Amino acid sequence: MELSGNGVRNGAAATAVTLIPGDGIGSEVIGAAITVIEAAGLQIKWDRQLAGAAALEAAGNPVPDELLRSLRRTHIALKGPLETSVGEGYRSVNVYLRKTFNLYANLRPTHSFEGVHTPFRNVDLVVVRENTEDLYAGIEHLVTQGVVESVKVITARASTRIARFAFEYARHNGRASVTAIHKANIMKLSDGLFLKCARKVAEEYKDIRYDEQIVDAACMRLVTNPGSFDVLLLENLYGDIVSDLCAGLVGGLGVVPGANYGERGAIFEAVHGTAPDIAGKNIANPVAAILSGAMLAAYLGYADAARRIREAVGAVLRTGSVLTPDLGGKATTTEMTAAVLRAMKASTAAYGSAAAV
């Protein structure tokens, strides 16, 4: 299944999409994604909105009403990363948006690229992360001086819903197995409930193999035999951590896209954060944002454009002559984006002349 939303096709009127450039490297990589998406022929009317640190600075609010109004109108966004300070300050705007718009399923397809050198080969897995509860419920309190509690919330409803999403995804994308990853040996009630729900859903999908693994052992297996995984089904926190680990298997955060899906909309964003260490230097890898754009294209019904974007990215990585420093090259964000555009143009020209024969 290419997840698709309103099924708008090539040639239809422009679709309104909220555009959140984000903080840090956000505007650099989202700028790259927009250029590629538009070159692929998508007709989109971008509604540009600030969020996070940029919005706090400009409007005194990290989640401006204007942003929420835009998302209620469009139901779809392409989003750059947003800064969340550690141990203080406002709550994560990412978590807020996912919960407010009930974008319960975070999908992060992670696979090896020819030309990207890592010790791991043939990785081809998909992280499905529950997005709305777990320790991200944000329920924390001070019990007494020196003692705090954070509450982990797991419900049957959300666990069943995300398990069903994982199995549906597996079935429609020719995936063989779903592995539920947990710590139910310790958190017997919460992770136990998550597993109970996953097992019940698994019974409805006899065509998909279902298994389970404890999260620590799963991490070890991911770095010793990543090819043995297919679709990974995880609660919110494990999903967050494990998806960065998975990114490390295939070349890093610069190459892994993502999307947050709900019943009525979706926000497309790379796995990576604001990368403050390289922000403003024009050296961020734009691939993760560009591939998130391909997921957006597929969602909007532009399957062919999505395929052409992915193929162009694949060709640039395979050739290996224009790579950003995270992949061992010296190219800038702008140069790598231009290489993707050239690859897309070349494949369109080749396809055009082949079709004309």
What residues line the site for ligand NAI (CB under 6 A)?
25, 29, 81-84, 94, 253-254, 269, 272-278, 284-285, 288, 326
| Minimum distance, C-beta of residue 123 to ligand NAI, in the bound complex (Å) | 18
Closer by beta carbon to ligand NAI, 227 or else 328: 328
304 part of the active site: no
136 part of the active site: yes
| Minimum distance, C-beta of residue 44 to ligand NAI, in the bound complex (Å) | 21
Among 240, 299, 302, 326, the active-site one is 240
240 part of the active site: yes
Closer by beta carbon to ligand NAI, 254 or else 301: 254
| Minimum distance, C-beta of residue 79 to ligand NAI, in the bound complex (Å) | 7
| Minimum distance, C-beta of residue 355 to ligand NAI, in the bound complex (Å) | 35
Closer by beta carbon to ligand NAI, 278 or else 322: 278
Among 47, 169, 183, 299, the active-site one is 183
Q: What six digits make up the tokens of 109?
A: 């397809």
Closer by beta carbon to ligand NAI, 62 or else 273: 273
Q: What six digits make up the tokens of 284?
A: 């961020």
Among 23, 79, 134, 136, the active-site one is 136
| Minimum distance, C-beta of residue 235 to ligand NAI, in the bound complex (Å) | 17
Closer by beta carbon to ligand NAI, 82 or else 313: 82
Q: Which residues have a catalytic role annotated?
A: 136, 183, 216, 240, 244
